[in-house]
Amino acid sequence: MSAPVSPSHPRIVVGLSGGVDSAVAALLLQRAGWEVHGLFMSNWDEDDAYCTAAADFQDARRCCEILDIPLHRVSFAAEYRERVFAAFLAAQRAGRTPNPDVLCNREIKFGVCLEHARRLGATAFATGHYARRANAADGPQLLKARDLAKDQSYFLHAIERASLAATHFPLGELGKAEVRHLARATGLPVHDKPDSTGICFIGERPFREFLAGWLPSRPGPIETADGQRLGEHRGIAFYTLGQRGGLEIGGRAGFEERPWYVAAKDPARDALVVVQDHDHPLLLSRGLLTETAHWLIEPPGTAFDAQVKVRYRQPDQAARIEPLADGRLRVSFAQPQRAVTPGQSCVLYDGDRCLGGAVIDATVPVAGDLAGVRAA
């Protein structure tokens, strides 16, 4: 049974990854007077050369010893496979490029993990994400981090508003250099630990090598925009729009010595269409259609102007947003966008405030209309 929570020092659980960001989040909350507990969660149950879970747990444990806070450990591997990984594989089979980190945040970190934190007696949950939360008359607001180069609101847009209301982001006002300085000054052993750059469950392992273990190889033709065959690919699931390299086409008679880019996928024929122009019309979209939108505001009933990101780290792009009757969105860009990819997320902003977003379902080519949307 959990110990009673002191009214003057409410309990908060911090999701600890074994990295510097979550460790400093715990430090800042402790300094602010919270009764801090750490929670290390495992979402993947394979033990191989690329899995760092054991080392990460030891890093989290050492940080908790220095901060003198309890550390809990839990596995959500079963929930992860059911709620995140299954959807990831289904999208890959359909020729899409999903973003499992978005789904992981909604279903796992701010879903079952938040529920577990409450069972530990916590009144709030915190992570080391670079984002901010503000309270307003219309409910909690998700805001970009002050350090826009580190902002992670893109990955948080799909969490439920009730989860957002119970969450804190202590690093939202800080830059990475400040975070490392705080860790070093406190003697946290992870102060110089490199950032993880891998997808949530794949980690740093080679993506194609990992995916090949889960999806069958379905070779097909690599073609030019006019249908000329250039070679054979190993399966369209292994490629993403705009990708340069890894096509193994090599030099071809009649073509310039320039790089090739993946411009389109044709799942019906298992065909991959490639072009040599970085800004070829096939790579440009003037708009998109989404799946059902998730809102962090009261869902608007009429069209409005906003800024959007169709990939992480992309600068904000001006767009017209039209909510459709079935809950989807029609998005029209002020300027054509390159390599807009079905399966990724289109996230909406009003300045610093994240309004919500949706998975991209199809794109509108620069030379077409909504009747000619490209689904993959």
Phi, psi of 176 (to 5 degrees): -60, -40
Q: In the predicted model, is pLDDT for residue 1 greater than 50? A: no
The 3 state secondary structure assigned to the chain is: CCCCCECCECEEEEECCCCHHHHHHHHHHHHCCCEEEEEEEECCCCCCCCCCHHHHHHHHHHHHHHHCCCEEEEECHHHHHHHHHHHHHHHHHCCCCCCHHHHHHHHHHHHHHHHHHHHCCCCEEECCCCEEEEEECCEEEEEECCCCCCCCHHHHCCCCHHHHHCEECCCCCCCHHHHHHHHHHHCCCCCCCCCCCCECCCECCCHHHHHHCCCCCCCEEEECCCCCEEEEECCHHHCCCCCECCCCCCCCCCCCCCCCEEEEEECCCCEEEEECCCCCHHHEEEEEEECCCEECCCCCCCCEEEEEECCCCCCCEEEEEEECCCCCEEEEEEEEEECCCECEEEEEEECCEEEEEEEEEEEEECCCCHHHCECC
- β-pair type (11-15, 124-126): parallel
> CATH topology for 11-186?
Rossmann fold (3.40.50)
pLDDT per residue over 227-257, tens digit each? 999 989 988 988 999 999 888 886 776 788 8
Residue with tokens 């149950």: 45
The domain ranges of the chain are: 11-186, 217-275, 282-372
User: What whole-number distance in Å separates Cα of residue 87 and Cα of residue 98?
Assistant: 9
What does the pLDDT average to over 350-362?
A: 98
Instruction: Assign 6 a pLDDT band (cuts: 50, 70, 90).
Output: very low
Q: What's the confidence (pLDDT) of residue 7? A: 45
Range with the lowest mean pLDDT among 269-273, 287-291, 293-297? 269-273
User: In CATH, which of 3.30.1490.190, 3.40.50.2000, 2.40.30.10, 1.20.910.10 is domain 282-372?
Assistant: 2.40.30.10
What does the pLDDT average to over 9-32?
A: 95
Q: What's the confidence (pLDDT) of residue 368? A: 54
pLDDT per residue over 291-329, tens digit each? 999 999 999 999 999 999 999 999 999 999 999 999 999
Partner residues linked to 113 by β-bridges: none
- CA atoms within a 13 Å half-sphere pointing along the CA-CB vector of 30: 18
**3-class secondary structure, 134:** strand
pLDDT per residue over 73-124, tens digit each? 999 989 999 999 999 999 998 889 999 999 999 999 999 999 999 999 999 9
What does the pLDDT average to over 15-43?
A: 95
Residues that are catalytic: 104, 200
User: What whole-number distance in Å separates Cα of residue 95 and Cα of residue 267?
Assistant: 6
Q: Which one is predicted more confidently, 46 or 128?
A: 128
Q: For the structural domain made of 217-275, what CATH number should be given?
A: 2.30.30.280
Domains 217-275 and 282-372 share a fold: no
Q: What's the mean pLDDT when you consider all of the chain?
A: 89
